[in-house]
Amino acid sequence: MDPYKHRPSSAHNSPYLTTNQGAPVWNNTSSLTVGARGPVLLEDYHLIEKFAAFDRERIPERVVHARGASAKGFFEVTHHVSNLTCADFLRAPGVQTPVIVRFSTVIHERGSPETLRDPRGFAVKFYTREGNFDIVGNNIPVFFTRDAMQFPDVIRALKPNPKTHIQEPWRYLDFMSHLPESCLTFLYWFDDWGIPSDYRHMDGYGVHTFKLITKEGRETYCKFHWKPTCGLKFLLDEEAVIVGGSNHSHATKDLTDAIASGNYPEWKLYIQTMDPADEDKLDFDPLDDTKIWPEDLFPLQPVGRLVLNKNIDNFFNENEMLAFNPGAIVPGIYYTNDKMFQTRTFAYADTQRHRLGPNYMQIPVNAPKCPHYNNHRDGFMNFLHRDEEVDYFPSRFDPVRASEKVPIPTDVITGRRVKTVIPKENNFKQSGELFRSWPRDRQERFIKRFADVASDPKVTPEIRSVWLSYWAQCDRGLGQRLASRLGMKALL
């Protein structure tokens, strides 16, 4: 035994039970008592330690996306993009990077059914040679709001009523009646799209606009899209009731079984690109995350493929303690002025310091796989054994360790301090286009689902007519058909 090399893992299991201190446990079924019938003695160290561990087993669930499944695999570049970015992991076709992916629902609790109508999270962590790059996206290409100031309210309105702990449609219809920009996300959510059949048959989207940057500093706006090679599949409402009623973890099981049987789930990665010089030429703001970039104007360009070929070994370590962060970027990729994106670069590490502790980046699933070094140290549950004598910078005893310069955007930013909405809101046009692209039966299903929730007795006539006006502005026919189903007068 080398007393200085021990690292807790299953590889160090003893052949018999021990306490956490390593002392042998000779009885794991009976408490230490005075006589066979008790009382129990506090000096039963093993009993007290067993309860101390059990009593603290659960950590706070994620404030959103609590329910999820993860799997490991690789990303492989298939097409040249080195003309757009100096990102090392995208340097040439054939280059592979290890990844971990977590799929999730958004609103409902850790043990909730995976058949509920909800956006699905699609988060990918690339362990690159230049650090972790996380695309923390959803299966819907847009989001309910464009300003993070409203994100906690979006989530509260969708979460259960704080009084009854029941999700109640009047609460989100009330709140979103103040948010016309939510229409496009709402359409996807109440469309068949709102219940993917499982995690394998769904798209993923980075949602925000990113920047790709070359070594020379040339910048290109970019959106990321994941497309499953096995195609898209959804559950209609009646099917979801049956699937969810017989197995509330059906999507986790589907993912695990597919990988275990060698039927590896695969997605192709595409990008849409735009020259930042063109950003004012459109009738919408390309940095507005409530908008898509039309594919006829900004075609999908293939980049690579994502293959999930390994199930996780430990759900707690590799799912519950997994921490994604939209702020985790690598040289060659950067954020844009998308307001939601910017606040997200703060919020995730903040919640993870609370949920997992200040040293959450030392947890093996979160730690970069490349060598890394800085003077951030110590804190609760630090287990990194460091022997450097210099913990400050700069120092004449420690060779300078700044990396080579990384290109960052060079655009000049000027303006007054304001708290306001963006000039080009254009809240309804893309929703109308999406609605008209559906066949009649799909449109009818959307109308029925919306009419059902809008018929909640707590939805006031005022809230109903605001919504009717929004849908009519998206598409006149949609407004008329909804009005007649709700027994109201069409507004346009």
- 104 is a contact residue toward ligand HEM (CB under 6 A): yes
340 contacts ligand HEM (rule: CB under 6 A): yes
Q: Which is nearer to ligand HEM, 322 or 483 (CB)?
A: 322
Using an 8 Å Cβ cutoff, are 108 and 166 in contact? no
Q: Closest distance between ligand HEM and the C-beta of residue 328, in Å?
A: 12
Nearer to ligand HEM (CB atom), residue 232 or residue 347? 347
Contact 70, 101 (CB under 8 A): yes
How many CA atoms does the CB half-sphere of 133 hold within 13 Å? 21
Give SS3 for 226: strand
- Cross-strand partners of 301: 271
Adjacent-strand bridge partners of 150? none
**Of 172, 284, 348, 467, the one binding ligand HEM by CB under 6 A:** 348
Task: Name which of 474, 224, 485 is nearest 336 in CA terms.
Answer: 224
**What is the SS3 assignment for 430?**
helix
User: How many positions of this chain bind ligand HEM (CB under 6 A)?
Assistant: 28
- Binding of ligand HEM by 343 (CB under 6 A): yes
- Footprint (CB under 6 A) of ligand HEM, residues 63-82: 63-65, 68
Stretch that binds ligand HEM, among 134-142, 217-225, 244-252, 375-383 (CB under 6 A): 134-142
Cα–Cα dist 356/374, whole Å = 21
Catalytically annotated residues: 65, 138
DSSP 341-393: HHHHHHHHHHHHHHHT-TTGGGSTTTS-SS----S----TT-------S--SS
Judged by CB under 6 A, does residue 151 bind ligand HEM?
Answer: yes
Of 7-66, binders to ligand HEM (CB under 6 A) are: 62-65
Q: Least Å distance between CB 7 and ligand HEM? A: 25
Instruction: Quote the least distance from Cβ 195 to ligand HEM, whole Å.
Output: 17
Q: Is 188 annotated as a binding residue?
A: no
Q: For residue 490, what is the enclosing H or E element?
A: none
For ligand HEM, the binding residue among 352, 359, 366, 431 (CB under 6 A) is: 352
3-state secondary structure 457-484: CCCCHHHHHHHHHHHHHHCHHHHHHHHH
Cβ nearer to ligand HEM, comparing 290 with 443: 290
Helix 237-246 to helix 250-260 angle (10° resolution) is 70
Closer residue to ligand HEM in complex, CB, 82/345: 345
Residue 373's identity, in one-letter code, is: Y
What is the C-alpha separation between 147 and 422, in angstroms, rounded? 10
Binder among 195, 202, 207, 312 for ligand HEM (CB under 6 A): 207
Return the closest-CA partner of residue 267 out of 103, 405, 465.
103
From 136-144, 163-171, 195-203, 246-254, span contacting ligand HEM (CB under 6 A):
136-144
Q: In the complex, which residues of this chain contact ligand HEM (CB under 6 A)?
A: 62-65, 68, 102, 104, 121, 123, 136-138, 143, 148, 151, 207, 289, 322-324, 340, 343-344, 347-348, 351-352, 355
Residue list for the binding site? 348
Residue list for the binding site for heme? 348
